[in-house]
Amino acid sequence: MHTDMKSVGTVSMQEAPLLEIAVVGHTNTGKTSLIRTLLRSTSFGRVDDAAGTTRHVERATIFAGSEAVLNLHDTPGIEDVYALQDKLHLIATRNKRSTQSELLEKFVAATPLNDPLEQEAKVIRQVLRSDVLLYVIDVREPVLEKYLIEIEILGKAMKPMIPIFNFTAAHRAELDLWRKKLAAFNIYASLELDTVAFAFEAEKRLYQKIQSLLEVHYTRLQRLIDHRARVWNQLCMSAARRIAGLIITTACYREHTGDERSSAGDTSSAAIRLQDFIRQAEQHCLVDLLKMFNFTDKDIELQKIPVQNGYWQLDLFAPGVLKAYGLDIGSAALKGAAAGAGIDLMTGGLSLGVASMLGALAGTGWSTFRRYGKEIQAKIRGTRWLCVDDSTLQLLYLRQRQLLDKLMNRGHAACHTDQVSQQPERGELPDGWQQIIDMLRQNPAWGRSPGLHTDDTRQYSSIEKRLIDALLKNPAL
């Protein structure tokens, strides 16, 4: 049997029972919200601005994969701390030899159902059964005497207590005052963990603080930390890859408008189809991202994007185009044609360059237009396409980066709806952005089946990676 493990008393770390954590505090400080954030779920308990929303102790289990690691116990708020203090003083006068925790046990035993202090008894009972206490503090509240009495009473249980500061954004002065007051109780191992503005690193530090207080659970908590880090990194990577897919699909997309003789009505219909495609593509991406982060459409609102479009013409001489259609770009005939030919991209006629290209293609053994590919045939016939213009693609990318930022930093207790605006603040585009877009436009098949319509998938993978890296290196993330 393996014996070189740390132990406390006669219970080894491996044999330690599940860690029991009581989430305690005054009413309406965010106890249920904290558990929702740790569970990544909006369905646990009830979250309301009204006091006393939680009336009973509720339990939730957190897993590392299939391994149960800890139980979180959501407790009712302590509402009448002065009556509780008086009751404990009365019990203490009658039981002068009892320890502080024994006085709490006597209080629980002496409080029947329907007693005015029944709710406080539920809290104390769970505190006595737990290994560690998370005391949730709404820093927006002034440091009132009742909160200090509450902390003093909970301290009688002789259990490690970690204050969790909630709603810390824009309340630094209040936060500093709370820290000073807690120092009077020799409580220094506090943590800022805003249940509305989520930060993964704050959750990680919470488990690390518990590790330092309860070494018997160190290894199991480390497995949880490692598991959660892997899941979080995978989630962020998957989200960035989904956004990269959206950018690739929309940059590759084009609408056929006929040739130069086509009517204005044909062009107008193509423009409407293009706009609908882009907006639907972005909406589908939003739905997928919400599912990934376990949110709903009630959490994020996507304002309608203004889609612009422009004409686009296939450049037969652009790098990678001929290879994308299976043509041998290494042939002497093609090299000779390309050296002396120049296509006017604003015309679809048979310029000298196109004629030279046709001759070169014929010289390689491609005898009919059918074998040149639809794109090349369309180019020769003077076909015109509409595609998403550069400014719209930039806007689309910046909106997705804004959306990813909101999803990665939104707590599951947040009740407000985040807006992804029509015009997000101008941000940094990926390095080589225009080169990326040009390459995507030259390979429209990538938008239908990414990376599968070319012999060299490394080019597609390189573009995808550049987009993903740019999304995940954003300092706000």
Long-range CB pairs of 332-337 (<8 Å, 24+ gap) are 333/359, 333/360, 333/361, 333/363, 333/364, 334/360, 334/361, 334/364, 336/360
Q: How many C-alpha atoms does 342 have within 13 Å on its Cβ side? A: 1
Query: What does pTM read for this prediction?
Result: 0.78
Residues 156 and 191 in one domain: yes
- Whether 2 is in a domain gets the answer no
- Whether 345 is in a domain gets the answer no
Q: Determine what percent of the chain falls in helix, strand and coil, rounding each to the nearest 5.
A: 50, 15, 35
Please give the Cα distance from 406 to 188 (Å, whole number).
31
Please give the Cα distance from 368 to 310 (Å, whole number).
31
CATH number at residue 184: 3.40.50.300
Residues 193 and 256 in one domain: no
| Banded model confidence at residue 316, pLDDT cuts 50, 70, 90 | low
Residues 247 and 160 in one domain: no
User: Percent of the chain beyond pLDDT 90?
Assistant: 44
- Whether 128 is in a domain gets the answer yes
- Whether 221 is in a domain gets the answer no
Reply yes or no on whether the pLDDT at 280 is more than 80. yes
Residues 208 and 260 in one domain: no
Residues 308 and 162 in one domain: no
- Whether 220 is in a domain gets the answer no
pLDDT in tens, 188-233: 888 988 877 788 999 999 999 999 999 999 999 999 999 999 999 9
Other Cβ atoms less than 10 A from the Cβ of 190: the count is 19
Residues 446 and 321 in one domain: yes
Lowest mean pLDDT among 187-196, 321-330, 344-353, 365-374: 344-353
- Whether 32 is in a domain gets the answer yes
Residues 159 and 266 in one domain: no
Identity of residue 56: H
Residues 194 and 250 in one domain: no
Residues 255 and 152 in one domain: no
* Domain extent for 70: 9-213
Number of domains in the chain: 2
Please give the Cα distance from 54 to 47 (Å, whole number).
8
Asked if residues 25 and 54 have their Cβ atoms less than 8 Å apart, the reply is no
- Whether 338 is in a domain gets the answer no
- Whether 437 is in a domain gets the answer yes
Residues 138 and 199 in one domain: yes
Residues 454 and 308 in one domain: yes
pLDDT in tens, 240-273: 999 999 999 999 998 877 665 555 556 688 888 8
Give residue 391's pLDDT: 87
Reply yes or no on whether the pLDDT at 279 is more than 50. yes
Residues 128 and 251 in one domain: no
